[in-house]
Amino acid sequence: MATAAIPGSESTSTGSSGGRSSGQKLSRERIEKAAIALARSEGFGNLSIRNVAKVLGVAPMALYTHVKNKEELAEHVADALIGGIDTRTLGALTWKDRVRTLLRAHRDLILKHPDIAPYINSANPGLGTKRFHNAITDVLTQAGFDAQGAQDLYFTLITYNYGSAVTARVSSAATNNLLKYNDGLSAILAAYEARMMRPALGIVESMRERLRFGRK
Stronger pLDDT, 106 or 23, i.e. the higher one: 106
Pair 61, 90 in one domain: no
Residue 212: the pLDDT is 53
Residue 92 is given by DSSP the state T
Q: How many Å apart are CA 138 and CA 80, to the nearest integer?
A: 20
DSSP one-letter string for 5-35: P-TT--EEEE-TTSSEEESSPP-HHHHHHHH
Residue 4: the pLDDT is 45
Report the CATH number that the domain containing residue 114 is assigned in CATH.
Answer: 1.10.357.10
CB 117 within 8 A of CB 165: yes
Residue 208: the pLDDT is 54
Pair 108, 31 in one domain: no
pTM listed for this prediction: 0.76
Tell whether the model's pLDDT for residue 51 goes beyond 60.
Answer: yes
Q: In which domain, by residue range, is 194 found?
A: 86-213
Residue 83 is given by DSSP the state H
Residue 66: the pLDDT is 96
Stronger pLDDT, 149 or 209, i.e. the higher one: 149
The number of domains in the chain is: 2
Pair 109, 49 in one domain: no
**pLDDT confidence bin for 207, thresholds 50/70/90:** very low
Tell whether the model's pLDDT for residue 21 goes beyond 70.
Answer: no
